[in-house]
């Protein structure tokens, strides 16, 4: 069962996810689609870490966070499988736009990444609020 320290860490990470999502929207409006997809990815990443904080889990590598979240929260049905697609798409867009030569995220890519990140953020927010409020 999460304690106050884990709850606070979880809420901090959730807030970081919200800030990243906000930054993604600002970059979309500014036409910075690569940066928008990057921030959408980080919103998703910090949302995953906010859930892991409740269970006193964390990993130093992004791939480990993603793998654990997929295994323990998506495959078990705690979160809908559609969010697994969100995580994969966000990661693929970030890697491609950050590291691949001659690859730029399109406006459509950024819009989709932000929409999916927003839906994921809201699902995580609901889950965390439910977990925290159900504690004795």
Integer Cα distance of 13 and 105 in angstroms: 26
Percent of the chain with pLDDT over 70: 97
pTM of the model: 0.94
Boundaries of domain holding 53: 4-133
Query: What is the 8-class DSSP label of residue 73?
Result: I
Integer Cα distance of 31 and 126 in angstroms: 31
Q: What is the pLDDT of residues 14-35, one digit of tens each?
A: 999 999 999 999 999 999 999 9
Q: What is the pLDDT of residues 66-96, one digit of tens each?
A: 999 999 999 999 999 999 999 999 999 888 8
- pLDDT, position 103: 86
- pLDDT, position 2: 62
CATH number at residue 96: 1.20.120.330
Integer Cα distance of 82 and 34 in angstroms: 23
Residue with tokens 């925290």: 132
pLDDT band at 97 (very low <50, low <70, confident <90, very high): confident
Structurally, how many domains does the chain consist of?
1
- pLDDT, position 134: 83
The rounded mean pLDDT for the chain is 94
Measured CA distances, 70 to 92, 110, 136 (Å): 15, 23, 28
- pLDDT, position 136: 59
């Amino acid at each position: 069962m999460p304690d106050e320290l884990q709850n606070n860490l979880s809420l901090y990470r959730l807030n970081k996810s919200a800030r990243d999502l906000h930054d993604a929207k600002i970059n979309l409006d500014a036409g910075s689609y690569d940066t928008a997809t990057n921030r959408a990815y980080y919103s998703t990443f910090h949302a995953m870490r906010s859930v892991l904080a409740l269970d006193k889990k964390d990993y130093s590598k992004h791939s480990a966070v993603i793998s654990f979240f997929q295994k323990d929260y998506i495959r078990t049905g705690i979160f809908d499988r559609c969010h697994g697609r969100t995580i994969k798409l966000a990661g693929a867009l970030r890697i491609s736009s950050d590291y691949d030569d001659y690859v730029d995220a399109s406006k459509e890519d950024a819009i989709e990444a932000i929409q999916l990140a927003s839906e994921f953020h809201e699902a995580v927010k609901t889950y965390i609020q439910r977990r925290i409020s159900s504690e004795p």
